Amino acid sequence: MKNSYGHDYTSHDWLTLHFEVKSNERLIEISELPIFKGDRVLDVGCGPGIFGSYISLLIGNKGHIHCIDHDEKNIIQAQERLSSTKMTNWSVNRDDLMSAIELCKIYDVVILFNVLSYVSNPAKFLKDLSSNMRRGARIIVKDFDMLSIKFNCIDDLKLSSLINASLLCSRDSLSLSCDAFFGRSVPFIYRQHNYACHNEKILTHFISHPFSKSDELYIFETVNILLKQPHSSIDFATKEYFNSAFNLNNGWFYEKDEAFMIENEFVSILTI
């Protein structure tokens, strides 16, 4: 499924690449979230079950994880991935995100990893979820922010103009609506409801030279998302600069000893 800019962040290939590049750090970070043995977890917009399969291990056989997604291919992949854990504490169902508003009533934890930008009214969605969940239950939101990307060896002014051009497109749409830049809204979503407590974190991911093929592809795809923003006012020279730096065949960025990319994801843990 493509978001309103026509970028497909939901395909199995992109999500798997994304995970491969960050997997070790992400799994440690997931294990530090308040998801405990015996918890009942609802994974909303589970994709190919990348996080779900790990959470099924964290909660053990006394817990249960139910994964929902509307994409048939992702659902099949999620089933395969969860089956491979040999755990029996899971279920996967093809369902719309909005069904979470009813389903959430019986869960201890609702996971919203990189899905809020697919909800037409995230503020109302969060409010409805929060009102239906029991006291002490948690909503855990994690989302991207392309604006927090930093590169070494890349001209900061050129990166700013690329990001600003993307931002201008973004501002043309509804503020909290579907775009590539939900991440920075995450630290403020606790304002949607009277939560017992909330906790915000930033997960920083550092990819440096020497780059693996997956790293290169991931960096290329990430920059490409910014370059491909429709209606964007990126000038030709800036486009050429990024194309020659990150081109997958002979991009000069990947060859530089001191090259790195930093990327941030925003997390909010909301306790009802």
Among residues 17, 27, 70, 201, the one that binds ligand SAM under rule CB under 6 A: 70
> If binding is defined by CB under 6 A, does position 143 make contact with ligand SAM?
no
Distance between CA atoms of residues 159 and 157, nearest Å: 5
> If binding is defined by CB under 6 A, does position 145 make contact with ligand SAM?
no
Pick the piece of the chain touching ligand SAM (CB under 6 A) from 21-29, 107-115, 132-140, 167-175: 107-115
CB of 98 or CB of 153, closer to ligand SAM: 98
> If binding is defined by CB under 6 A, does position 166 make contact with ligand SAM?
no
> If binding is defined by CB under 6 A, does position 114 make contact with ligand SAM?
yes
Sequence-distant (6+) residues with CB within 8 A of 160 are: none
217-232 as b/e, with b when 16 or more CB fall inside 10 Å?
bbbbbbbebbbebeeb
The CA dihedral of 175, 178, 183, 184, to the nearest 10 degrees, is 0
> Any alpha helices (H) in 40-121, and if so which ranges?
50-59, 72-83, 100-103
> If binding is defined by CB under 6 A, does position 122 make contact with ligand SAM?
no
Distance between CA atoms of residues 263 and 248, nearest Å: 19
Shortest CB 7 distance to ligand SAM, Å: 10
List the x/- string, 11-40, binding to ligand SAM by CB under 6 A: ----x-------------------------
Give whole-number Cα distances, 65 to 77, 121, 170, 258, in Å: 16, 25, 34, 42
Shortest CB 47 distance to ligand SAM, Å: 3
24 close to 214: Cβ distance less than 8 angstroms = no
Which pair of structure tokens corresponds to residue 216? 């290169």
> If binding is defined by CB under 6 A, does position 97 make contact with ligand SAM?
yes
Give whole-number Cα distances, 213 to 146, 150, 249, in Å: 21, 20, 11
Among residues 21, 30, 42, 46, the one that binds ligand SAM under rule CB under 6 A: 46
Number of residues that bind ligand SAM (CB under 6 A): 19
- Tell me whether the omega of the peptide bond preceding residue 210 falls within 30 degrees of 0, making it cis: yes
Pick the piece of the chain touching ligand SAM (CB under 6 A) from 26-34, 47-55, 166-174, 253-261: 47-55
Among residues 80, 96, 235, 240, the one that binds ligand SAM under rule CB under 6 A: 96
> If binding is defined by CB under 6 A, does position 221 make contact with ligand SAM?
no
Among residues 69, 216, 221, 265, the one that binds ligand SAM under rule CB under 6 A: 69
CB of 159 or CB of 265, closer to ligand SAM: 265
> If binding is defined by CB under 6 A, does position 183 make contact with ligand SAM?
no
Compute the C-alpha angle 53/10/260, nearest 5°: 85
> If binding is defined by CB under 6 A, does position 74 make contact with ligand SAM?
yes
Give whole-number Cα distances, 237 to 158, 233, 241, 256, in Å: 9, 12, 6, 21
Among residues 54, 90, 118, 266, the one that binds ligand SAM under rule CB under 6 A: 118
Distance between CA atoms of residues 158 and 197, nearest Å: 40
Binding site for ligand SAM (CB under 6 A): 1, 9-10, 15, 45-47, 50-51, 69-71, 74, 96-97, 113-115, 118
